[in-house]
Amino acid sequence: MSRSILLRLSQVVILLILIIPSGCGDRGHRIFYEPDYTNRYYVPKQIPIKTNMILKPEFEICKMVTIMNTQEDARKIPIGAYTHQWWGNLHMWTETAVGVLKNELEKRGVTVTEDAPKILKLSITNANLFWGFDVVGCTLNLQVETGDEYKVTFEETNKSTDLYDSCDGAVTRAVAAMFDDNRMRSYLTCPVVLKDSDGDGVPDDRDECPGTPEGIEVDSKGCPLDTDGDGVPDYKDECLGTPQGAKVDNRGCWVIMDTLFDFNKYDIKAQYYPVIDDVVAVLKKNPSLKIEIQGHTDKIGAEAYNQKLSENRARSVMNYLVMKGIEGKRLSIAGYGFTRPETTNETEEGRALNRRVELVPVH
């Protein structure tokens, strides 16, 4: 063979090498040549998901997720041929998908761990290369199964003038597609845990009664129940069932204090008639309500004397109510002397609280 012919052949070989479609260089990818130059074995590299690849990028993902590579087939399988055969290992391709997903979750503040309550099982089950006029295409199927056994397959195709970009992008697109699947989003979404300092079940930002004692039943506003609406919560109310409009003390009891009477007297002072008129108004608004009028004294004086005084004061209140139009059959009286003190009798303030008339609904 002449020297000129050999020179021409070498030029043709060089030209053929130059026009082979891109995708045969290294460029940082995991590529192996075996058993000879005409067989290529390739693993995609991780390309981060871009925001515009997810239609609805924002949602509250649970703070801990487990990702598993469930593709157990580690054999080399043919994925396409053009001038030479390309091979792939689907287990290793899945590992790339796991890495892309892990990167996206961590970017969202999620901890990827081995024992999270939310589990994602990934497996690339198929991959194919195809060549066009001026592009290389890569199609793959990514199967994802959640911890609650929801299973879905994402088929994605990516095209590029570069073979590597084509397959790298296909993996990334398949992982990104997971975030637009409604069932997948629902599974991964965890409700925001709002702070509830007093543990009453109502978050602090809606709790109008912070600091409720443990175990106390509350309403939707986080306030202890007050079934009779007297302003004293049930767990503190010693006189449940007080009629609406009745004036109560800090125990939730309907009380008329001793200011109605002069010392050692039981006739009502005229300036305090309006106080009892309030009682009349409550009784008229509740025509079926019956009450017991209870008289109480402090501990100064003899027991028998205080007993009689408490009964007379209760009777005075009853007589006034009848005079104002309340039927006597709705009223009864009881005197307790100093046997039921509200507080201590050792101080003037305590004795003043103990000298009282209570109105107790009779059911």
Supply the CATH number for residue 96's domain.
3.40.50
Do 241 and 323 reside in the same domain of the chain? Answer: yes
Do 237 and 137 reside in the same domain of the chain? Answer: no
Structural contact between residues 73 and 91, judged by C-beta atoms closer than 8 angstroms: yes
| Number of domains, the chain | 2
Rounded Cα gap, residues 199 and 41, in angstroms: 59
333-354 residue pLDDT tens: 999 999 999 899 999 888 888 8
**Is 343 within a domain?**
yes
Do 231 and 339 reside in the same domain of the chain? Answer: yes
> Which of 188, 207, 237 delimits the end of a domain?
188
**Is 5 within a domain?**
no
Do 106 and 31 reside in the same domain of the chain? Answer: yes
For the chain, percent of residues with pLDDT exceeding 70: 88
pTM over 0.85: no
> Taking 90 as the threshold, does the pLDDT of residue 268 lie above it?
no
What pLDDT does 3 receive? 57
What pLDDT does 19 receive? 39
What is the rounded average pLDDT of the residues 214-243?
92
What is the rounded average pLDDT of the residues 85-92?
93
At which residue do the structure tokens 């469930």 appear? 70
- The long-range contacts involving 109-116, CB below 8 angstroms and separated by at least 24 positions, are 109/63, 110/61, 110/62, 110/63, 110/64, 110/65, 111/63, 111/64, 111/65, 112/64, 112/65, 112/66, 112/67, 113/64, 113/65, 113/66, 114/66, 115/66, 116/62, 116/64, 116/65, 116/66
**Is 212 within a domain?**
no
What pLDDT does 8 receive? 58
What pLDDT does 25 receive? 42
**Is 113 within a domain?**
yes
pLDDT-derived band at 6 (thresholds 50, 70, 90) equals low
> Taking 90 as the threshold, does the pLDDT of residue 328 lie above it?
yes
What is the rounded average pLDDT of the residues 133-150?
94
What pLDDT does 7 receive? 52
What is the rounded average pLDDT of the residues 9-26?
44
Do 272 and 178 reside in the same domain of the chain? Answer: no
Q: In which domain, by residue range, is 51 found? A: 22-188
Do 294 and 237 reside in the same domain of the chain? Answer: yes
Q: What is the CATH number of the domain that holds 299?
A: 3.30.1330.60
> Taking 80 as the threshold, does the pLDDT of residue 18 lie above it?
no
Paired tokens of 287: 């025509």
What pLDDT does 232 receive? 93
pLDDT-derived band at 262 (thresholds 50, 70, 90) equals confident
Do 171 and 38 reside in the same domain of the chain? Answer: yes
176-204 residue pLDDT tens: 999 999 999 999 998 777 888 999 999 98
**Is 180 within a domain?**
yes
40-62 residue pLDDT tens: 778 899 999 988 888 776 778 88
> Which of 158, 188, 218 delimits the end of a domain?
188
Do 241 and 148 reside in the same domain of the chain? Answer: no
Do 146 and 280 reside in the same domain of the chain? Answer: no
**Is 164 within a domain?**
yes
**Is 16 within a domain?**
no
**Is 177 within a domain?**
yes
What pLDDT does 51 receive? 80
What pLDDT does 34 receive? 44
Do 167 and 234 reside in the same domain of the chain? Answer: no
> Taking 80 as the threshold, does the pLDDT of residue 31 lie above it?
no
What pLDDT does 126 receive? 95
Do 184 and 233 reside in the same domain of the chain? Answer: no
Do 182 and 278 reside in the same domain of the chain? Answer: no
94-112 residue pLDDT tens: 999 999 999 999 998 999 9
Is the bond preceding 44 in cis, omega lying within 30 degrees of 0?
no
Paired tokens of 144: 């994802």
